[in-house]
Every structure is written in C-alpha cells, then in structure tokens.
Structure 1
Amino acid sequence: MPRSAPRRPQPARSGTPHRRPSAVALAAAALGLTLLGLPAPTGPRAAQAPAAATMGSGLVPRPVLVQPDPAGGYPLTAQTAITTEAGSAEAARIGTGLAELLRPATGYPLAVRTAASAAAPADGIALLLTGADPSVGPEGYQLDVTATGVVIRAAQPQGLFNGVQTLRQLLPAPIESATVQPGPWTVPGGHIVDHPRYPYRGAMLDVARHFFTVAQVERHIDGLARYKINHLHLHLTDDQGWRIAVAGRPELTSIGGSTQVGGGPGGYYTQDDYRAIVAYAAAQNITVVPEVDLPGHINAALAATPELNCDGQAPPPYTGTDVGFSSLCLSTPAGRAAAEEFVDDVVGQLADLTPGPYLAIGGDEAHTTDPAQYADFMTWVQQDVARHGKTAAAWNQITGATLQPSTLVEDWDTTGDDPDLAAAAAAGTGLIMAPARFAYLDQKYTADTVLGQRWATPSGLEVRTAYDWDPDGYLQGAPASAVRGVEAPLWTETAATPQDLDHLSHPRLPALAELGWSPAAAHDFTDFARRIATHGPRWELLGIRYYRSPQIPWPAAPAGPTGPTGPVTAGAGRTCLAVTGGRTADGTPVDSRTACDATPAQTWTLGDDGTLRALGKCLDATGGGTANGTSVRLWTCNGTGAQTWQWSFGAGPALLNPASGRCLDATASGSLRLYDCGSTAAQVWHLP
C-alpha cells in the first residue's frame, strides 16, 4: 500500500529471486569491476576505508566503462575556459551552469565560449555534441581527461548534462563549497563511456501530506540531478491537501489547499509556480510527472467541492494519516457526471501546463469505491488523459480497470506476486518498479531511527536492502523487457522540512539511482559503500543532513549525535522547550513556558538515535517511569527507553516515547510530563 500500514497482512515472499547475487554473479561482478578499471571487492575488510582518489573511485552511479590513466590528470587553473558546441544553445546553457557550479569554490573566472570547430580545444573543458562512442544513446556521454583538458562528448544535450554531473564528482569534495577554497582542483585522468540501464529513473515527492514551497522543491530537484534521476513524480493531491491551482475552481486551493498532516497552513502552487518547477526541472534533465490521485485519496477535493459527494455535503478537511476512506461519488448519474466534468477540467489544465509525456492518475487504495464503478471510471480516466495528449501513469491497482495500451504502471507491491500485473506486463504494459520494502524512502532506516514509518519494513530499510534487489526480477512472471525503470517514492507523513527530505533520501536515493543507471553485472554493495562514503563530505558542504548508516565506511564520524539542531517550539504560541535556568545538573527540569531566545538551553538536537539533546544531556522520563504524569527532566544520556522519542502525527506533530506509549505533554503551567497521546494542543511540537 503506497502510504500507510496495510489493512491486511501481506505474506512474505518466499524464494525471493535476485535479492542477493549468486556466487557466479559475484564473480562476474568482480571481474567486471576489474575490466572497468576499478578495484574488485576482496571481502568484509574491503569497505573499511574509501578507495584512493583515482578516476571512478567516488562515482555514483557507477559508469559502464572506466579506464583510469594516473598520468593524465588535468588541473583547473585561473586560465581554464569552458568551450561548448557551436550552434547549440543547450550546450551553451549547460556550459554556463558548469561554470556557475565551479566558480564559488575555485574563485576562477571560467569563461564560457563557443567552439570554433568539432575538434576539442587544446586546453580547458569542452562540451561537444559530436564524436561520442555510438553506444551512449540519448542520455549517455563519453568523458576523457588528459593532462591538457577535459572533453565531454554526447549525442544529445541531456548526455552532456549527465557527463557534467560525473565531472563534478571527479573533482575534490570542497568543490561543493560556497566560498573560495585552496584547491588544488585536479580531475583524475582517464576515459569513461557511460549510458543508463533504464530510460526512466524516477523519484516521487509527496507535497500533499506536507506542503513544500517552490524553492524547497527546487532544492530537492538539485539532489535528484546529482545522481542522474530524470523524472520527478510530483504527488500533488491527496486527502490532506490539494496543491495545484485549477482555473475556475478557486475553492480547490482556498479550502482543499489549506491543510496538511498534523495541522498547519498547508499551501498550494499557482499555475505560474508549477510552470517554474517544471522549467527548473527541465534545465536539469528532469521531466515532471504530475499526479492527481483518483478516485480515492480525494478528501481535500471533496471538502472543497460539495457536488463531488453523493449527499452534496462537503466533509471537513482532514489532517490525519489514514488511507482508503475517501472516494468520488460514482454511484449516481449526477455524481458520475460531476466527477467526469471535474476530472476532465483538472486533467486538461495539467496537460496544458506539463510538457512531459506522462500524467499520473493514482488509482490506489480506493477501498470505499465499488469495484465495478472503479473499473469503469478508471478506464474512462485513462482515455481522458489520452484525449488530452498525455500517457497515463498509475499505481498497480489500476489493473482493476481495463488497461489502455500506453498506460505505465508503477508497482509498489510488497510481495512481488501480482499475477494480474504480470499478465499485463507480458501483454506489453510498461512497468516502473518501486516496491515499498526496497524503494520507499519514507520508511525508517532501522526500527529506532526517528523519522519514517515501518509498515512496509518493520525492522527498517537500511541502505544495503535498498540497493540489493533486481528490478528486472522483482515481479514474478513479468518479462524483464517490460521494466522501463525504477522510482523512489518519498511520502511525507513524517517529513515536514527540507532537512527531513534530505535525511530520508541520503544515502538511499543514490543507491536506487545506481540501480536505475548502472549495469546489472556491476552491482556490488561493498563497492557502492566505498564510493558513496566519499560523498558524505560533499553533502555536509551542501547542507544536506544525511543518515550516517553504519553500513557505509564514512571518512570520519562527527562529534556527538547527528540530526537537526535548533529550537523546539510548542503549540500555536510557539514558546520554546527550555532547560530551566540553563543548568546542566542531572534532574534539571525542562519546561515549555519560556519565550524563544536561541540560547544553548533552548538549542536541541534530535539525534538519529532518537534522543533529544541539549547542553550535552538528554530529555528523560524521570526514573524510567511510564505512567501518566511522569515528569520529564534533563539527564545524562544513557541509551535507555526513557530517553527515546519518535515522531507521531495525529491532529498535530507529537513526540512519542515508545517505551511508555505516551506523548510529551505540556501542563497549563508549562511543566512537562508523559501523558496518553490525544492529539491535543498540549502535545503539538515543532522540531528543528
């Protein structure tokens, strides 16, 4: 189920193929690494330290072919210029973007100029649309680094863009700095030929449960582009919020867009906002796939549009996290007519706003829709999308309707056993693989990490699990030829800030990006772990709050817990959680009655280990108590359940103490205690 705990347990898949490579596959992969010019793994000790800085040692996704040349490194200097293909505005744009990327850290002017001929210049960086290896296709590239320069060749501009992302990773990590750094800026020498395994490499962002601004979505797009993701599936509507303006239907955003999970103002995109997101994504080789979820997950629209309800009465807005309870009215002629008029209006406007080929229509968890009515309506919706010149995409429950020949189906199923979808795939339906137990970025990393859910992965979705599966073999009975690509969905029940998106995405998103790009024969987690470890310092310079998985040999461990740091505010008045008097003695009370002043006594770190820390100590349930009314204090961190807190979303974001099953609660006087979780204002906390 895409968003929430399944209503019925799903059986574990027995005999799951492709989760771990066979001995033969491991040997082939090791041989492949050697042929690619990269070190083959040699056993458990192989992941203990990052490889030396040679071409390919830090590249993610792994290229198809890498031939290092240690004698051929090219140093950027103040004289380096960027030359782009003559007559290509796109090549010039990509070259300008590369210069803007490199200038802050290097301090070099990096002039961008047009090539005089198809030949590479004698010195500098060249971006050319001629002479690439024939295997590269529309998105691939050839990259050559010698002592005199860097040449990226591609057949299409998107290939040049992907080559630039690889060049970025070949430079030292401080290239990501926003201020001038000392360098040196040497690109390792060698030859790369690269192209993707699948044409569709996607990431889904749910902006319906928690709203994210245009600038925040663009920041997220930056992270996708670094790893050659080329589709952003934007989940625009759901029970908790309607996020896209529709001309002639202002109530969809004024009412339907006014809420989000846990309360709060919500928000929406004007049509110009949406155009800006689409254009920003396109400049980074990313196609936006908008989704309007139908016929369920529709409460925000029902609350805004009474005629979409069978009784003509609008339900109240919804801020919880349950699924499957809402539906368009399809059981009466008037209801069906209103639903068709509504959907045609929305689909038509979105189609006009979206240059990409796909428009997603949901189709999932319509538990309160009659199956026959669902089948008839969703068949019509697919046809309506086609009438507006787009290809429909939908979740795998769309097999309950008549599939149109062009419909693209995204498989989130947790078992890999869906005979109806496998039969459709065998008949020609294209598949995007996004199994929740491997690909859902909203799942916790472990049972103890703070953000995320556990319905698909009770013990957590660690990086290796996200990496070690085969999209071609996941759906039993489906031909590999049906798989068009992979997608990493990020539902936002527990993600309310850009930092939350960072944490849930990194390092699992790069792992899934490698599945979508790199050759299947080169799949090897030990080697991936070595390479992605070198990205930690880059992410830190970019302000990305990532999960420091113990499965990755990161270059250095930070001092103290990692996690978001800042004030913890309480309720609508936004007073701050504070250590009384700023004292550090064990047993010092913590209260919520203090105006925010940014002092150390009000600066908390929500650690990946579930602790909430200030002044070097932890928020603690007194004496390990679990009863209602147990007071809360500051205490030396000791790793007990009394000091473990997790997000809980009801009417507002709450802090749950799992050991007691109770929530952090503020009394009328401002003192804190554990109390039964009741979604009251006294239990609403806004974390950094």
Structure 2
Amino acid sequence: MILSKTKVLIIIMIALISCSNKEIIDYKSTTIDVIPIPNKVMKAAGFFEINKKTSLVFDRSLKNSAGFFKQYLTKGLGIEISGKSKNYSIVFSLDTAMVGIESYRITIDKESLLIESPSDIGAFYAVQTLRQLLPPSFENGTYGKDKVRLDLLKIEDSPRYEYRGFMLDVARHFFNADEVKHVIDLISAYKINKLHLHLTDDQGWRIEIKSWPNLTESGSRSSVNNEKGGFYTQKDYLEIQAYALKKHITIIPEIDMPGHINAALASYPELNCDNKAREPYSGIKVGFSSLCIKNDVTYKFVDDVIRELSSMTTGNYIHIGGDESRKTDKDDYINFINKTREIVESYGKEPIGWDEIVDADIESNAIVQFWGKVKNVKLASQKGAKIIMSPSDKIYLDIKYNDSTKLGLTWAGLNDIKDAYNWKPDSLIEGVSGNNILGVEAPLWTETIVTPNDLEYMVFPRLIGVSEIAWSKEENLNWKNYKERLKKHTLRLDNLNINYYKSEYFNR
C-alpha cells in the first residue's frame, strides 16, 4: 500500500505500534552477526513473525527500499505478503529528524517491524541489515517455509565515512554491463556506496566518446594478452548508472591521464608528440606512455572526453588518474594536472586523482586517493585535501592472499583477509586522520582477472572486511569478533553462489 495522500496514515500506524496497552519489552544491549557491525543493538525475549498475512506499509519516498524488501521476502518465503493484517505490520517510515541521510533505525517488537530513516538511502541500508537477520537460504529461495521469525531487536546505525568505495579495473580486462550489474548487486549488500570504474589504461579504452570515435573503434579491441576487449556504449553506461542509483551507489568514472594512456595514443596519432600512432599494448608493464602535454590538441581531447563523460554522469566526481606518469616531465605533469582539474571543475564536477597529483597546485577542496607513497598523502593532508584511503598493502584486492594463490600479483606483498581488516584509517599514517579522511576504497586491478569467477574470488571476502572498516565505529572493530561473524556469514555467500576465497581462518 502506498501512503501517498497524507502523512497522517503513517503517523497513525506508528501510533498503533507504540500504543500504551502493548506489553512493555525489556531490550538489553547485545551484538548480532551482521557485517558491517551496527553502531548500537539491543535485544529482548520473543519474536516477530512474518507470514502471508503480514502487511507492508511505507512512506512514498521510501518506496524503492520497501520494494526491495518485499521482493526479498517473496523470494525467501515463496509467497507474497498480502497486506491484510491490521495487527502485524512491516512499516517503512520517513523520519527527517534523524541525523545523516544514510542513518536508519530498526525496531522489532512482537507485532511489528518498523524501519525509520530520513531518506531512502538509509532505509535501503536497513534492508541490507535485515537481510542478514533472515536465514541465509532466503538468498537463493531454498528456505522452504512460508513464515519466518525475527528476534526482537532495536538497531540504531549510521556510517563512519561518507565515501565507501570499490574500484573495478575494466581496462586491463573488460567486464560487460551485465557483469558490472552483478558486481553492484554484491557490493550493495555491504553498504558500499561508490563504484569507481577504471575505464581507460594502456591496454584498452572502454567508454564511447562520440567526438573521438576511434577510441573505441580501435582502442577497445586490445586487453591484457588480448583475452577480453570491449567497451560500453553511452547507452550501456547510462544503464549501469541507473541500475547502481537504485541501490544508492554512485558511479565514479576514471580516465587515467597523462600516463596509462597507450590505448588512446594507438587510436589517434596526433596525441603523440611525433604524430605517430603507438602499437596496441597487451602486456602489464606501467609507466611507459604519456600524452603530448604541450600540444593544443591534447587539451581539446581532454575537454571533449570530460565534457561527454560529465554529461552522462549524475554523480559529483570524475577521476583523472595521474598515477605512474614516469614518461611525463615533472613540470609538464604539474601543468597538465592543473589544467585537467580546471576542465573537470568547468563541467560542474569534482576531480579525484591518485596521490601523485599532490605535486600540482591542489587546494583544500582537492580529493586525493592514497595508494602507495606515504610522503604524497602526508603532503596532501598538509595542503588540506580530502583523502580516500586505498593502501595497496592492505586493501588492493588484486594482491595474492598467499604464495599459493593462483590469481593476482605480489608487488605489494601478500594480503590475506586479516591484513585487509586489521588496520585503522585514522592511525595508519601519522598526520592523516579525522576530517582529512573522506573515506575508504578497495581497488581491484585486473591484470590477472578475466572472468566474474576470478573477480569474486579476489574480492570476497576481503571487501566485506573493508566495508566494516568504512562503515562501523572504530571502537566496534575487532578482528577476533569479526572473524567469528565472517565464518557464519560464509553460509550466506554459499547460498549466493559466490566463488569466495576459503580462508584457513574459517577452519580455526
């Protein structure tokens, strides 16, 4: 039922839930097996039963999240809740007095399940928490019963960081629109709210730019080992973005410049200082390519690309890369980054760059993504920039779990699930903490990642731990506790048919 005519009906419903003649329930502080761990949880004796007679009511502004929850219940129970019961209800209520649009509150008593949030974003995150309170077999429709019980709980929750990201490199190996949508399905379950798409690199150009058509007509054909090329049409990109927005994920497109650019140099000779097109590249070396910084056509190219990308992108951010530009003269590099940031800002977007961009004239409104050089992120912090924490030795998901991992690389060492979880953004680097930190992002570079199965194996379960670091209060982060919750959570991963890494920690 959509409560569209007036807020009075939803207020009445809440009043009925809270009426004074109901049994007083004694809730006491507890913990639950949910990842990311919520800020505050209280539990009481008893249960609330969801069955075919349970009603579902929602504020119109929360229709999206209420629809997701109804769909999930239908899949799990094999029936559609009818909405006929007056006494046993699921209510999605808008509460604009709550602080933070991503916050939510869940109250479960014997007669109702109440979800409150100031926005559909917070309500959606409440649904992700509720998913983990329901049996894992709900995930694949094998629960086999038409009713289910939930413990009586009160949950209050909101995120630690506003930026909680995952980066997918689609340049080294291409992943098509349906495969990216599958990634969105998986990461949204853990309250990840940014999907950074690394759209271009030496090995391939993956986004249609109509003013420079050869970027995809030619530049999209190559990939590492020439195994998996391709590109997104602008229609594909818009489709991916629309799908992500329904799950409150912002797409952040990256055009890596002035290095990591061979696919463009192979597509257009005029982007090279000698006016000679480069050969397509299918290896995994870095640092050998550069735009011709002093040519006017370079900035026409950059402007056209950013203009078209900005017009398609609903989010605030455009990532300009800027890493490993070893073939670019330092003064040229600084000039290029300064001009490119200005171009991005001229189209109403905020530029993000890898930590090397600190050498340019960045201001306090700059966003710098730390991946490797401590001196860079310290300088960024001193300049007042906002930092996205992506330490390669902790949360680069292309790094092998151990010496026997068949996929992945080792240039940043080894990175098992404990390494990915057992660190603190606020204390990792002296001088980088508090308000300096915008959030956390775990990148997956795909030099060795070819298939969705490969992707799942390297991402899960490490990204689950990263999501907790990005969402939960620091005082709630505890490796021993997390490890036990993750062990139990693997049953849900099994039911989702995720090809996750079976860590030795699960056997201890």
Q: Could you state the TM-score of these two structures normalised by the residue count of structure 1?
A: 0.68
Q: Distance in 2 between matches of 1:112 and 1:445?
A: 48
Across the aligned residues of Structure 1 and Structure 2, the Cα RMSD in angstroms comes to: 1.9
1:433 aligns with 2:433: no
1:470 aligns with 2:463: no
Q: Secondary structure at the match of 2:195?
A: strand
Q: Secondary structure at the match of 1:442?
A: coil
**AA matched with 2:505:** Q
CA pair 131-108 structure 1, distance change in 2 beyond 3 A? farther
Q: Secondary structure at the match of 2:239?
A: helix
* Paired residues of 1:396 and 1:410 also in contact (CA < 8 A): yes
Q: CA deviation at 1:548?
A: 1.0
Q: Secondary structure at the match of 2:174?
A: coil
Match of 1:366 in 2: 325
Q: Distance in 1 between matches of 2:87 and 2:378?
A: 54
* Paired residues of 2:255 and 2:319 also in contact (CA < 8 A): yes
Q: Secondary structure at the match of 1:431?
A: strand
CA pair 323-36 structure 1, distance change in 2 beyond 3 A? farther
Q: Distance in 1 between matches of 2:491 and 2:427?
A: 35
* Paired residues of 2:55 and 2:86 also in contact (CA < 8 A): no
Q: CA deviation at 1:526?
A: 0.9
Q: CA deviation at 1:186?
A: 1.6
Aligned partner of 1:171 among 134, 157, 173: 134
Match of 1:154 in 2: 117
Q: CA deviation at 1:96?
A: 1.4
| Mapping 1:626-637, distance limit 5 Å | none
Q: CA deviation at 1:184?
A: 5.1
Match of 1:455 in 2: 411
1:536 aligns with 2:490: yes
| Mapping 1:229-628, distance limit 5 Å | 229-330=192-293, 332=294, 336-413=295-372, 417-418=374-375, 420-457=376-413, 460-553=414-507
Q: Secondary structure at the match of 1:290?
A: strand
Match of 2:49 in 1: 75
Match of 2:15 in 1: none
Deviations 1:41-88 (A, max 9, x none): xxxxxxxxxxxxxxx1x20000000001232x2222111232111x42
Q: CA deviation at 1:148?
A: 1.3
Q: Distance in 2 between matches of 1:306 and 1:342?
A: 12
1:103 aligns with 2:74: yes
Q: Distance in 2 between matches of 1:511 and 1:208?
A: 26
Q: Secondary structure at the match of 1:70?
A: strand
Q: Distance in 2 between matches of 1:494 and 1:195?
A: 36
Q: Distance in 2 between matches of 1:216 and 1:240?
A: 19
**AA matched with 1:271:** Q
* Paired residues of 1:208 and 1:235 also in contact (CA < 8 A): yes
CA pair 178-367 structure 1, distance change in 2 beyond 3 A? same
Q: Secondary structure at the match of 1:495?
A: coil
CA pair 208-359 structure 1, distance change in 2 beyond 3 A? same
CA pair 121-383 structure 1, distance change in 2 beyond 3 A? farther
**AA matched with 2:349:** K
Q: CA deviation at 1:421?
A: 3.0
Q: Distance in 2 between matches of 1:426 and 1:68?
A: 45
Q: CA deviation at 1:425?
A: 1.4
* Paired residues of 1:131 and 1:153 also in contact (CA < 8 A): no
From the two aligned structures, give the one with the greater helix fraction: 2
Q: Distance in 1 between matches of 2:187 and 2:507?
A: 23
Q: CA deviation at 1:181?
A: 2.0
Match of 2:19 in 1: none
Deviations 1:280-329 (A, max 9, x none): 11100100110000000000011111100111111111111100101001
Report percent identity of matched pairs: 39
Q: Distance in 2 between matches of 1:365 and 1:440?
A: 16
Q: Secondary structure at the match of 1:534?
A: helix
Stretch of structure 1 that moved more, 544-553 or 315-324: 544-553
Q: CA deviation at 1:423?
A: 3.3
Q: Could you state the TM-score of these two structures normalised by the residue count of structure 2?
A: 0.92
Match of 1:667 in 2: none
Aligned partner of 2:35 among 60, 71, 95: 60
Match of 2:93 in 1: 128
Deviations 1:336-381 (A, max 9, x none): 2111000000001111100100100000000000000000111110
Q: Distance in 1 between matches of 2:431 and 2:364?
A: 19
Q: Secondary structure at the match of 1:193?
A: strand
Q: CA deviation at 1:179?
A: 5.0
Match of 2:152 in 1: 189
* Paired residues of 1:83 and 1:121 also in contact (CA < 8 A): no
Q: CA deviation at 1:553?
A: 4.9
Q: CA deviation at 1:275?
A: 0.4
Match of 1:595 in 2: none
Q: CA deviation at 1:111?
A: 4.7
Q: CA deviation at 1:396?
A: 0.1
Q: Distance in 2 between matches of 1:279 and 1:299?
A: 30
Specify every segment of 5 or more residues in structure 2 that has no aligned partner in the other structure, as ranges: 1-27
Deviations 1:470-506 (A, max 9, x none): 1112222224220010000000111111111111111
Specify every segment of 5 or more residues in structure 1 that has no aligned partner in the other structure, as ranges: 1-34, 39-55, 114-119, 555-688
Q: Distance in 2 between matches of 1:235 and 1:317?
A: 18
**AA matched with 1:123:** Y
**AA matched with 1:128:** S
* Paired residues of 1:99 and 1:111 also in contact (CA < 8 A): no
* Paired residues of 2:399 and 2:408 also in contact (CA < 8 A): yes
Q: Distance in 1 between matches of 2:267 and 2:83?
A: 51
Q: Distance in 1 between matches of 2:245 and 2:260?
A: 28
Q: CA deviation at 1:211?
A: 0.3
* Paired residues of 1:488 and 1:509 also in contact (CA < 8 A): yes
**AA matched with 2:159:** P
Q: CA deviation at 1:180?
A: 5.9
**AA matched with 1:373:** D
Q: CA deviation at 1:183?
A: 6.3
Q: CA deviation at 1:100?
A: 1.6
Q: Distance in 1 between matches of 2:107 and 2:58?
A: 15
* Paired residues of 2:52 and 2:82 also in contact (CA < 8 A): no
* Paired residues of 1:383 and 1:404 also in contact (CA < 8 A): no
* Paired residues of 1:382 and 1:407 also in contact (CA < 8 A): no
* Paired residues of 1:70 and 1:190 also in contact (CA < 8 A): no
Determine which structure has more spread, i.e. the larger CA radius of gyration: 1
Q: CA deviation at 1:531?
A: 1.0
Match of 2:191 in 1: 228
